[in-house]
Amino acid sequence: MTSAETAAAAVQISVQPSGRTFTAQAGESILAAAIRSGVGLPYGCKDGACGSCKCKKLSGSVVHGDHQSKALSAAEADAGFVLTCCAQPLTDVVLESRHVTDESAFPIKKLPVRVSSLTRASHDVMIVRLQLPAADTFRYHAGQYIEFILKDGARRAYSMATAPHTQAEAPGVELHIRHMPGGRFTDHVFTGMKEKEILRVEGPFGSFFLREDSDKPIVLLASGTGFAPVKSLIEHMRFKGIARPTTLYWGGRRPGDLYLDGWLRERLADMPHLRYVPVVSHALAEDAWAGRRGFVHQAVLDDFADLSGHQVYACGAPIVVDSARAAYTAERGLPPDEFFADAFTSEADKHAG
């Protein structure tokens, strides 16, 4: 791309079939422009790693920044697909995205937060509760995430595990943070973070939230701390009295990785439409595990011959989310636009080849 191209004037982005339009400035990604304009395009990592923002370009020209081939393959790019998080438009662009919403209308804010509690939920999961400023209303959708802004400007994203209605009792959110040894931020969470510590966050972000205009039965799929946004969805459904048939599959390597199993079983007592299927992939004899074994996305395939009438909400490791998306659409008839995902990309994931 030449300097003349990067200096091009602002261009118009149109999204079909919704007809929404917004303007992108020179050097701005399509997604950044959409967020700034309050147009809710789907997205996840914002770093070209997860593929959640992928959509079809109907016309126009873009240039892509760095991204992973698993998020957008060369064949997909040749077929006209783009990653809006790292695609900069060179001309007016028309996109096709059936997930566009107005849900990003909640203002994105930068806020100081105070660590109110740290609870070790398992050997490598910390439940961190953050107190929000009492005078500053923070609105979000169950399933969305916030980003910590570190001192050097680096960011770390974590999904909120509490539903929005809990703000009425006390302004705060709960996060589930998995320790990634050698990771600067998670090492601090597990070895140095103290109650009352002040941090800065920005949010809400993300297009992973319950589509309440549907009455389709739901499959919730979580691996590891991918349970955090799913917990928020369950709290929200319980609060709103949403009684769509829902089956939750939660996977971990060993039983202890299902760190809120007890909390979930309590929810089953007052949510008769909710079914819970825990799945363990690497149980040891000492675990005395009598439940389902194997990979969590495979358990759904074992139980459902047809997903054509369902919605699937998947959260967790990219390999789980990607495997589920591919298998459910190709083998079980799930419409691609009924698969909603939040792949938990680590810093290592973002910079992988």
Each residue's pLDDT tens digit, 68-86: 888 888 888 888 889 999 9
pLDDT for residue 348: 54
Domain membership flag for residue 141: yes
CATH of the domain at 118: 2.40.30.10
Taking only the tens place, the pLDDT of each residue in 26-57 is 889 999 898 888 787 878 778 888 788 888 89
Domain identity same for 123 and 185: yes
Q: What integer pLDDT is reported at residue 353 of this predicted model?
A: 45
183 shares its domain with 282: no
Scanning the chain, the segments in alpha helix (DSSP H) are 3-6, 30-37, 74-78, 184-191, 227-240, 261-270, 296-303, 318-331, 347-350
Summarize pLDDT for 217-246 with one digit per residue, the tens.
Answer: 999 999 999 999 999 999 999 999 999 999
Residues 293, 321: Cα–Cα separation, whole Å = 18
pLDDT digits (tens, 9 = 90+) for 82-131: 999 999 999 999 998 866 665 446 888 999 999 999 999 999 999 999 99
Helix (H, G, I), strand (E, B) or coil at 85: coil
Does some domain include residue 210? no
Do 250 and 297 lie in a common domain?
Answer: yes
Confidence of residue 5 (pLDDT cuts 50, 70, 90): very low
Token code pair at residue 292:
């389902």
Same structural domain for residues 150 and 97? no
Q: Mean pLDDT, the chain, as a whole number? A: 90
Mean pLDDT of 306-325: 96
CATH number of the domain at 55, please: 3.10.20.30
Greater model confidence, 265 or 352 = 265
Backbone φ and ψ for 270, nearest 5 degrees, come out as: -115, 15
> In this structure, what token pair is assigned to residue 35?
């967020």
pTM above 0.75, yes or no: yes
Do 196 and 240 sit in the same domain of this protein?
no
Give the span between the Cα atoms of 353 and 351, in whole angstroms. Answer: 6
CA distance 222 to 353: 25
Greatest mean pLDDT among 62-71, 137-146, 226-235, 338-347 = 226-235
Number of structural domains found in the chain: 3
Mean pLDDT value across residues 296-323: 97
Q: How far is CA 125 from CA 90, 225, 327, in A?
A: 44, 8, 29
| Closest C-alpha to 200, from 125, 144, 146 | 146
Is 124 within the bounds of a domain?
A: yes
pLDDT at 4 (0 to 100): 41
Burial class (CB in 10 A: 0-12, 13-18, 19+), 213: exposed
Residues in CB range of 233: below 8 A, 6 or more apart = 142, 143, 163, 209, 210, 220, 313
Judgement on whether residues 223 and 325 belong to the same structural domain of the protein: yes
Residue 17 pLDDT: 79
Instruction: Identify whether residues 50 and 156 lie together within a single domain.
Output: no
Higher pLDDT pick, 144 / 78: 144
Please give the Cα distance from 210 to 164 (Å, whole number): 13
